[in-house]
Amino acid sequence: MASAGEPFACLTCYDATTARWLQRAGVHVLLIGDTAAEVILGFDRTIDMPLDIAIALTAAVKRGAPDTCIMGDMPFMSYQADEAQAMHNAARFLTEGRADVVKIEADASFAPLIGRMARAGIPICGHVGSRPQRAALSGGYGSAGRTPAEAQQIVDDAVAMEQAGCVLLLVEAVPPEVTDRIMARTTLPLIGIGAGTACHGQVLVLQDLVGMTDDPPRFAARSANLGQALQSAGEDWVRRVSQRAIGGHTYTMKQGDIRPGAGVEPPLVQTRTPDHAPTRARG
């Protein structure tokens, strides 16, 4: 799609049910981002994402969207501390997580590691620009590349990622001029988030797109208000429960009647008949 000049859509996703709907929607790439630490696990930083959970969620999304490109995101300290450990952890995203691509937040200093991963057959997406895993050092989440020196550094990082063997690039929270420069200096498909409209692909955190986060980044325009819809559904359920009007199917006795005074209670049927088999409705 990138070479045909057709923009492709990427969203974060963290569970099989949502993945099934997003595949039906035609979303091209699903990213199991370390933002799961925030939107799924309730931490206030992405660096709290546990590796095992990231891999398990990646596999869940792949099960829900088997025909969609699935990108796993390597959490903080799963690839920075030790190269051998990084190789092993990246491979787990492919084998256990069934990811098609593995993303790491990187700069030019990661080129040797990316080269080693590429030689081992691991497709890597290099995430440049604003890198939330470095927020403690950079003074928090925010934009990047807004001075000429910083912008040049990000472009150089992207070039180094391509030369090292990445198959995909992602740039976060930079001015469009930086995006343009990356696109002029590299040939890989570039996914942007808060990086202008020129990128080959665009990604957002799903919860920002569908209106479930209280404080989304300014670049994330909403397509829905699912937070409010969920609140209304919850309120409706509270009301129905309090009014004993839960609705839905009520089971009836197959034989006999156990209400007091209704006659002899028949023995409870213990054997499973096809009618008693578990159903998808968790019957």
- Contacts with ligand KIV by CB under 6 A lie at 12, 31, 33-35, 46, 73, 170, 172, 193, 203, 205
Nearer to ligand KIV, 151 or 173 (CB): 173
DSSP-derived secondary structure letter, 41: T
Q: Work out how close the CB of 249 gets to ligand KIV at its nearest, in angstroms, rounded to a whole number.
A: 39
Q: Work out how close the CB of 125 gets to ligand KIV at its nearest, in angstroms, rounded to a whole number.
A: 10
d(CA 222, CA 226): 10
Task: Specify the 3-state DSSP secondary structure of 65.
Answer: coil
Nearer to ligand KIV, 37 or 113 (CB): 37
Q: Which residues of 228-241 are buried (b: 16+ CB within 10 A; e: fewer)?
A: eeeeeeeeeeeeee
Nearer to ligand KIV, 34 or 157 (CB): 34
Minimal CB distance to ligand KIV: which residue?
A: 33
DSSP characters for 172-219?
ES--HHHHHHHHHH--S-EEEESS-S-SSEEEE-HHHHTT--SS--TT
Nearer to ligand KIV, 11 or 117 (CB): 11
Structural contact between residues 120 and 91, judged by C-beta atoms closer than 8 angstroms? yes
Structural contact between residues 151 and 174, judged by C-beta atoms closer than 8 angstroms? yes
d(CA 171, CA 194): 8
Q: Work out how close the CB of 127 gets to ligand KIV at its nearest, in angstroms, rounded to a whole number.
A: 6
Residue 171 β-bridge partners = 128, 192
Nearer to ligand KIV, 159 or 195 (CB): 195
Residue 170 β-bridge partners = 127, 191
Q: Work out how close the CB of 248 gets to ligand KIV at its nearest, in angstroms, rounded to a whole number.
A: 36
235: annotated active-site residue: no
Among residues 38, 105, 162, 172, which one is catalytic? 172
Q: Work out how close the CB of 191 gets to ligand KIV at its nearest, in angstroms, rounded to a whole number.
A: 8
Which active-site residues does the annotation give? 172
